[in-house]
Structure 1
Amino acid sequence: MKAVMCHEYGPPSALRVENVPEPRPGPGQLLLRVEACGVNFPDTLIIEGKYQQKPPMPFIPGGEVCGVVTALGEGVGGPAPGTRVAAVITHGGFAEAVAVDAAKAVPVPEGVAPEDAAALGLAYGTVLHALEDRGALKPGETLLVLGAAGGVGMAAIQIGKILGARVIAAASTAEKLEACRAAGADDLLDYAQEGWRDRLRAMCGGEGPDVIFDPVGGPYSEPALRSIGWRGRFLVVGFAAGEIPRIPLNLALLKNCAITGVFYGAFTRREPERNRALLTRLFAWVAEGRLRPAISRRFPLDAAAEALETLASRRATGKLVLLTHPTVPPAG
């Protein structure tokens, strides 16, 4: 089978597409014929050795997959071969086949395209876990999304609206902000411009947002936290800007607010049943037409390095997806 291989830590250009043996499913695992795999910011970190988990070399990156079950490992009763499933994994998805733990596989409803299912796992799973489980976002509250034009940011806009929030999207260019408007944002905030905190305060009627979703970090986190509303919830999701900010804790005291961590990968491992229920809800929203993953570009497997470079250089708007078998008909 073809797979994207990482033999040493480095930039996306160091990756190679190679022919490797197809994996065999171990006890408790399923073998999937991969149809699509989402491209995510953690993929850019894991190939450079900057992620929390470091697979042994060589390894195949790719953390969210959709594919058709082709074989069952020992002790696995289902889903049956021919069933389309999606799974969130640490690595292994940038390939034509992958073995995944059966406990992580969630059946994909009829009518949900493989690329949509592959785009949901990490970004949309992270967002729903963050906004509901960690941020307790309520209908009518105001949600500020930093880095709103990225894949996770777009997901936060969409799910924030489904949960009944007013969404303020913050991004750094007019083009990115227009994409956020198209995704459903109620208000737009250019945080590359001077005085953005004053504009945010005016948008919030002199108060601040109830919930702040921050996948960016860097120079934006502290001023955003200083702008949060009374009893607000600041969600620490990631550090796409590259710098982990050092926050003065007196800010949490002054606003009586909560600074809450969101580690979706650990959630999926520690609470697999809750995660399966979460993903099932997301798939149902797509099947019902309430949610459409914001996929901006689709790449063939051979162009995985280009997809990762596009993401790492912050040129991506919305989600990027690799298609390994773009002509495969729906399973059924």
Structure 2
Amino acid sequence: MKAIIVDTFGPPSNLLIKDVPKPIPKPGQVLIRIKAFGLNRAELYMRRGEWAESMPIIGIECVGIIEACPDNSFPVKTAVAALMGGLGRTINGSYAEYTVAPVLNVATLAESEDDLCLSWEQAAAIPETYATAWMCLFGNLELKKGQKLLVRGATSALGLAAVTLAAHFGARVTGTTRNPGRHSQLIEAGAETVEPEDSHLAERLNLREAAKFDTVLELVGNSTLLESLALVRRGGRLCLAGFVGGVAPINFNPLLQMVSGVHFSFFGSFVLGTEPFPLSEVPLQEILKMVASGELEVKPSRVFRFDEIQEAHEMMEANEANGKLVILGC
């Protein structure tokens, strides 16, 4: 089969297409013929050698068709999404014609390709991003209709998914972005207001306790975390789930810097498909149907061919994605 290999850690030019053996699924795994896959910043770090663990074939998600399933958990030809479960980290991932994935990390999208309500490239923009957004919003943050939500780093793929879902379910959303040209994109996604993303957000908003946010989804990361904690009301919740501002560590002394009465949690999408975080908690089929019916507006910001992987990574690394980048299977 054809696969995109991280030849050596380094720039996008180190992603090379090679012929490799087709994987064979073991019991508890499925073999998937990959139709498309979304790009994620984790793969950028894997390509550079900055991730704790990675395989020669990276890629943490895909959509495609079941070709084999030794324990019959999924019928052959089922249209599915696969995400996490070691993909790209401990088992070869989705940058290939085929991959194997644990059955716990695979979700049915339709009974067959003919029954799929979206194109493959549109479906590929949903799994990891929307599953993570769903778990952050309705798991960690316990978001309710009418609550005020702040999404920092809202024009990232995950941020846009969170804004779209939260607004659809009745939250009052404020998004931040460093790019003034993308304000309209957030308004179209459902945000009520948009704020410039900088390190003086709390000072600029100058919110009284009663006007603070019920919930904050922190996607910029460590560089703005402490400030975001100060924007949450007593009894409110903050979830850290992204690091678009980088992963440099911070000195954090809870005794001096943690705000009393604020619930602070972390969500990492690598737990999806584990016993505490079953993939079945995410209504992926229903989300696809909402997109197909027009209730949710979801589409890739750009679709690349398999042999354009280097260009796609260059765009992601330059922070020019403007949403979810998708690669079509070869």
- Report the TM range for the smaller structure's normalisation: 0.7 to 0.9
Counterpart code for 1:84: A
From the superposition, tell whether residues 101 and 209 of structure 1 become closer, same or farther in structure 2 (CA, over 3 Å).
same
Residue in 2 that maps onto 1:310: 315
> Aligned to 2:239, which of 235, 254, 257?
235
Q: Secondary structure at the match of 2:211?
A: coil
Q: Summarize the alignment of residues 59-78 of structure 1 with structure 2, pairs less than 5 Å apart.
A: 59-72=56-69, 74=70, 76-78=71-73
Residue in 1 that maps onto 2:145: 139
Per-residue CA deviation, residues 213-263 of structure 1 (Å, 9 max, x unaligned), is 112114322222222222221111122211233344247754410110112
Q: Distance in 2 between matches of 1:269 and 1:51?
A: 20
Residue in 2 that maps onto 1:330: none
- Report the identity percentage: 28
Residue 98 (1) aligns with residue 99 (2): yes
Q: Summarize the alignment of residues 10-89 of structure 1 with structure 2, pairs less than 5 Å apart.
A: 10-55=10-55, 59-72=56-69, 74=70, 76-89=71-84
Q: Secondary structure at the match of 2:159?
A: helix
- Asked which structure has the greater RCO (Cα within 8 Å, sep 6+), the reply is 1
Q: Distance in 2 between matches of 1:244 and 1:181?
A: 32
Report the more deviating stretch, 247-256 or 312-321.
247-256
Residue 167 (1) aligns with residue 200 (2): no
Contact 1:179 1:317 in 2 (8 A): no
> Aligned to 1:268, which of 268, 273, 277?
273
Q: Summarize the alignment of residues 102-121 of structure 1 with structure 2, pairs less than 5 Å apart.
A: 102-109=103-110, 110-121=116-127
How big is the shift at 1:70? 1.9
From the superposition, tell whether residues 253 and 25 of structure 1 become closer, same or farther in structure 2 (CA, over 3 Å).
closer
Q: Which runs of 5+ in 2 are unaligned?
A: 111-115
Residue in 2 that maps onto 1:329: none
Q: Distance in 2 between matches of 1:209 and 1:199?
A: 14
From the superposition, tell whether residues 4 and 68 of structure 1 become closer, same or farther in structure 2 (CA, over 3 Å).
same
Residue in 1 that maps onto 2:202: 197
Q: Distance in 2 between matches of 1:139 and 1:283?
A: 22
How big is the shift at 1:138? 0.9
Q: Distance in 1 between matches of 2:195 and 2:209?
A: 15
Residue in 1 that maps onto 2:9: 9
Runs (4+) of structure 1 moved beyond 4 Å? 250-253
Per-residue CA deviation, residues 69-96 of structure 1 (Å, 9 max, x unaligned), is 2223x3x214222221111032211111
Contact 2:107 2:279 in 1 (8 A): no
Q: Distance in 2 between matches of 1:46 and 1:223?
A: 29
Counterpart code for 1:67: G
Q: Distance in 2 between matches of 1:214 and 1:88?
A: 22
Residue 125 (1) aligns with residue 131 (2): yes
Q: Distance in 2 between matches of 1:264 and 1:283?
A: 19
How big is the shift at 1:68? 1.3
Q: Distance in 2 between matches of 1:70 and 1:301?
A: 20
From the superposition, tell whether residues 153 and 222 of structure 1 become closer, same or farther in structure 2 (CA, over 3 Å).
same
Residue in 2 that maps onto 1:207: 211
Count of matched residue pairs: 317
Q: CA RMSD in A?
A: 2.2
Contact 1:128 1:159 in 2 (8 A): yes
Q: Distance in 2 between matches of 1:265 and 1:175?
A: 32
Q: Secondary structure at the match of 1:4?
A: strand
Q: Distance in 2 between matches of 1:126 and 1:244?
A: 23
Contact 1:36 1:321 in 2 (8 A): yes
How big is the shift at 1:324? 1.3
